Structure 1
Amino acid sequence: MAGVRNEAFEAWLRSHQMSVGELTSLVNTAIGELTGRDGTVNDRHIFKLLSGEHRSPNALLRTALEKVTDRTSGELGFVPRGTKKSSPPPGPEDDPLYRRALLTAATAAGVSVTVPAVGGPRRQRLTSNDVEALKAELAAWTSVESMYGGTPELEKRAAEITDKVITLQQGHTASARIRSELYTVAAAFSNSAMWAAIDGRRTSAEYHLDRTIRLAGLSGDHATEFRVWGHASTLFRQLSRPTDALAAAERSHASPITRRDPLFASLAMSRLAVNHAVLADGRSAMRYLDLAQKALDRADPNKHRPAWVGFYDQAELDHLAMLTRMQLRHWPDAERHAHRSLAYLQPGLQRNGALVRANLAVTQLSQRDLEQAVDTARGITEGMMKHARVRGLLNSFTEQVAALAPRSPEARDWQAQYRTVIA
C-alpha cells in the first residue's frame, strides 16, 4: 500500500549523493557491528521506507539507520509503531540525556516478545526467532546507553525485559541450545540494568548484581560472565570495597574468552590496572597497563564480537590508563592519556567524553593550572554536567577550585556557572 513519501529520508540520501544500494550495504555493516551477525536488509526495505509504505522500521533497522546517517529517527521522518501515519514525526528531546523519543523507538518498535496472559494459550516451543527479537532490542538498548548513559528509564526497561525472559523460560518449552541462549539474553539485560544503575549511582545496582550472576551462571556463556564480573568490579569500587573490586576483576580476567580474543584480554587487564592502582600497587598497575596495550595492538578490529564490547578501543584504554595514573597521582601522565582518549573517542559517545573531560579538568587543577582546568570543565555540555557520575566528579572539582583559589575570578565564575546548571 502506497503512503506519503518520506521527504526527510529522501533529502538525506540526496544531500549525501548516496544510492539506495550504497545505503543498504552500510546499514547491513552497521547491523553486523551491533549484533555480531551480518544484516539481511535489502534494497526493497529501503525503497519502502522512502515511499512511505513503511514509516516505522523495527528497532534494529532503526538503530542501524541512525548510526549510518548520524540522524535521529524523527529527523529521518520515521514514527514509532502504533503512531498514526498522519501524525507529524516526533522531534528530539531538548535534554539529550533523556531523549525519550529515541528510547521509545528502541523499545516499542515491534521486536518485543509478548508474554501470554495467565490462563491463556501456551506457546508450545520457543525458537531462535524469539532469541533474535530480544537480541535486536538489546542492540537498540546498547546503542542508546552508549550515547547517553544509564538513565532510570533505561534501567527500568532492561529490568522489565529480564523479567519477561524469565517468565518465558518458565512457561514454555525449548531446546537446550535455545534455553541457554535465552539465559544469555536475560543475563545481558539484567547486567544492562545493573550497569545503568552503576552509571547513575543508584543503590539498585546491588540487587541487579545478584540476579545477573545467577543468570550468567545458567547461561554458560563466557562473554556474558566476563562482562558481569567486569561490571561487578566497577560496582564494588564505587561502594569503596577495593579488595572485592580486585577479586571481581581477576574473575573476569580468568574467563576463557580472554585466551581466545586479545581484545577481551586487554579490557580485563586495563581494569586490573585501575584496581591495583586503587590499592596503591603501582608496580602491578603499570605492568597490566603495558600488557593491556600490547594485547589491544594484537586484537583483530574486524572480528565479530557482542555489540556491548564495541565501546572498548584505544580511547577507552587511554581512559582507563588515565584513571590508573590519577589514582597513583601521576598527573602529567594522566593528562596525556586524557588527551589521547579524547582524540580517539568514537563520535556520539557523549557520556564517555564528558567523563574524560571532567577527569582531565581534575588532572590540570592538580598541577595548579587553574585557568586551563576551568576551561576544560566548561567544555562539558550542560546536559552531561547533570549526569550522575559526571556531576560527582565536577562536585569534587568545584570544591578543589574553591580550596585552591577561593578569590580568583576563574573560581567565582565557575562556581556561579556550575550552580546555575545543576540547580
Structure 2
Amino acid sequence: MASSTDTSAQPDRPLRPNTVFRQLRGRRSPAEFAALVRRAAREIGERVSCDARYVGRVEAGEIRCPNYAYERVFLHMFPGRTLTDLGFAPRSTVRGRGARPAAAAVAASAHEQPCDRDAPYGAHRPYPNDPLNHEESDVLRRAFMTGTGATVAAAATLGPLGIATDASAASRRAGTSEAAAVEEAVRRIRLLDDQHGADGLYRRAAEPLRAAYALLDAGATRQTTAERLHSGAGELAISVGWLAHDSGRFDDARSHYAEALATSRMTGDAALEAHAFCNTAFLARDAGRPREAVRAAQAAQRAARPLGSPRLMSLLALREAGGWAGLADRTGCEQALVRAQALFGRGMSDADPEWMSFYGEAELAGLEAQCWSTLGDWRRASRHARRATRLQDPHFSRNIALYTAELADDLARDGHPDEAATAGLRVLDLLAQVQSSRIQSMLAGTARVLLPHRRASGVAEFLDRHASLPRPRRG
C-alpha cells in the first residue's frame, strides 16, 4: 500500500540509508543524539518526542523527510543547511497534494510511513503528512467547513484505523503494527477534536476503542507490545471519554474514564492513571461535583509526582483549583492557582506527556478564567479569558471558540453587554466549523443574561443569530 506521501507509481521504493544524518550524529549514541534534538526543540519552543528509535528510522531511510516540527528543529541545530543538506529527500518528492480515498487512509494507518508520522503532533500543530491535514487534503478540509453532517462524514474516516474488528481478531495475537494503529487512533481523535469539537465524533470514535480492547483480550506477541497496547487502549478510552464529556454525555464519559483508570491500575501505568484522574476531575467539576473534582485532582497529583513533569503537575493543580472554586473556597482555589503558575513557569521537559500538547499559556489563562468565573469575580475572569483568546494558536479552533465563549459570558455578567455580544458573535462564526455542546450551552447562558439588554449595541443581532441556531445533534 502506497503511503500518503509516496507517488502511487513507486509503492515499493527501496530504502536509502541517510548517511549524511549518520555522520552528523558522530560518536554520540542514538539516545544521546535524540536528547540533543529534544533540547534544541525546547530552545525554539517546539515539542518533539525524539528517541533512539526515531533517530534509527531516519538513518535507515524510513523517514525520507521530517515533519515540519522536526524540520525546524534540525535547521536550528544545523544553521545554514537545508533538508537536502541533511540527507533528506526534497519535500516535493514525497508529498502528494491530492486526498487519498478514505478507505485507503484507514487501511494505511496501521503501517509504517516513509515520511515522519511517528512523532506525535505537538506544539499545537497537526501532522503535516497526515491525510486528515488541511494542507494534504483540500477535499476533506472543505467538507469539514460545511457543518455537522460533513464533520460526521469526515469522522467516519477514523474507522477501525487498520485494527481488525471481525471474529478473526480474537484468534490473532497483536503485534507492533496493531499497537501502532491504536496509538494512531488516539492522535487522530485528538486532532479532529482540536479542530472541530466533539459533537459528531463520539459514536464513531467508539469503534476503534472496542477494537483496541478486543486486541487486549487476544493478547500480544511480546510483553513490550502488550504494555503499548494497554497504554494505547487506556489513552483511547480517555480520548473517547473526552468526546462524550464535551458533547454533554457525562455518564458515558465517567464510564470511559473509569475504564482507563482500571487499565492503568492493572498494569501499574502511573502516567495513564494521572491522565485518567485528571479528566475525571475535570468531568466532576463540570457535572457539579466539586468535592470529587478536588479529590480526583489530588489523586492525579500523587500518581504524577514521580513522573517528573512540572507542566503536568501545573495542569493538575488547575484541576484542583477548579474544584475548590466550585466549593466556593477562594483560599483553596488561589493556593492551587499559585502552584499551577509556579510549576508552569519551570517550562517544558522531556517527561511531559504527549497528550498535553494543548497545554500552553492560553489554556493556563483559560482555566484560570473559569475558576474566577465560578467564584463570581467576573472582571478578573474576563481579563484572563481575553488573554486566552489572544494567546491561543489558530490550529485549536475549538479552544478559540471555548475561550471566546467564556469571555462573552464573563463580560455579560460583569455589565458589558455590547462587548459580550461582539465576543458572542465571534463564537457563532466559529460554530460553522466547531461542534461542541459544551460551547453551545455556554452561549445559551450568555444569551439569557443578555436578554434584558437587547437595545445595547450588537446584542439584538447576537440574540437573533443565537436563536436561529439548530439544536445540537448527537452522532
- Give TM-score, length-normalised by structure 1: 0.78
Aligned residue for 1:150, secondary structure, equals coil
1:170 paired with 2:217, answer yes
Does the 8 A contact of 1:326 with 1:363 survive in 2?
yes
| Residue 329 (structure 1) shift | 1.8
Q: Deviations over 1:170-229 (max 9, x none)?
A: 223443332222111111111111110000001422332332222222232222111111
What is the distance in 1 between the residues matched to 2:223 and 2:96? Answer: 42
2:443 matched to which residue of 1? 394
| Residue 336 (structure 1) shift | 1.6
What is the distance in 1 between the residues matched to 2:264 and 2:457? Answer: 53
Match of 2:281 among 209, 214, 233: 233
Does the 8 A contact of 1:122 with 1:172 survive in 2?
no
Aligned residue for 2:164, secondary structure, equals coil
Change (3 A) 1:400 1:258: farther
Code of the aligned partner of 2:440: R
Change (3 A) 1:266 1:334: same
Match of 1:161 among 193, 208, 213: 208
Change (3 A) 1:406 1:122: closer
Aligned residue for 1:422, secondary structure, equals coil
1:67 matched to which residue of 2? 126
| Residue 136 (structure 1) shift | 2.0
Change (3 A) 1:418 1:183: same
Q: Which has the higher helix share?
A: 1
1:320 paired with 2:367, answer yes
Code of the aligned partner of 2:404: R
Aligned residue for 1:286, secondary structure, equals helix
1:339 paired with 2:386, answer yes
Change (3 A) 1:72 1:361: farther
After TM superposition, the structure 1 = structure 2 runs for residues 7-406 of structure 1, keeping only pairs within 5 Å, are 33=47, 38=54, 40=58, 41-43=63-65, 47-50=93-96, 58-59=108-109, 67=126, 73=132, 76=135, 91-95=142-146, 99-100=151-152, 102-105=154-157, 107=158, 111-115=161-165, 117-118=167-168, 122-123=171-172, 125-153=173-201, 155-202=202-249, 203-257=251-305, 260-300=308-348, 303=350, 305-382=352-429, 384=431, 387-403=436-452, 405=453
Q: Deviations over 1:98-141 (max 9, x none)?
A: 53465345x25x952224625x8943x43333222321222122
| Residue 266 (structure 1) shift | 0.4
Aligned residue for 1:99, secondary structure, equals helix
| Residue 409 (structure 1) shift | 6.1
What is the distance in 1 between the residues matched to 2:129 and 2:164? Answer: 31
| Residue 256 (structure 1) shift | 3.4
What is the distance in 2 between the residues matched to 1:280 and 1:51? Answer: 53
Between 217-226 and 313-322, report the one with greater CA deviation: 217-226
What is the distance in 1 between the residues matched to 2:365 and 2:163? Answer: 39
Code of the aligned partner of 1:310: S
Does the 8 A contact of 1:161 with 1:186 survive in 2?
no
| Residue 306 (structure 1) shift | 3.4
Does the 8 A contact of 1:35 with 1:306 survive in 2?
no
Q: Deviations over 1:40-83 (max 9, x none)?
A: 5214695244498x98675586796983669975865659xxxx
Change (3 A) 1:343 1:71: farther
What is the distance in 1 between the residues matched to 2:246 and 2:413? Answer: 25
Q: Deviations over 1:214-267 (max 9, x none)?
A: 222223222211111111112222222221121111111211346611011100
What is the distance in 2 between the residues matched to 1:89 and 1:371? Answer: 37
Code of the aligned partner of 1:341: A
| Residue 395 (structure 1) shift | 0.8
| Residue 158 (structure 1) shift | 3.3
**Percentage of matched positions with identical amino acids:** 20
- The count of residues paired between Structure 1 and Structure 2 equals 386
| Residue 268 (structure 1) shift | 0.6
What is the distance in 1 between the residues matched to 2:435 and 2:220? Answer: 45
Does the 8 A contact of 1:259 with 1:265 survive in 2?
no
What is the distance in 1 between the residues matched to 2:218 and 2:128? Answer: 41
1:14 matched to which residue of 2? none
1:84 matched to which residue of 2? none
Aligned residue for 1:299, secondary structure, equals coil
Change (3 A) 1:340 1:171: same
What is the distance in 2 between the residues matched to 1:348 and 1:99? Answer: 16
| Residue 281 (structure 1) shift | 0.9
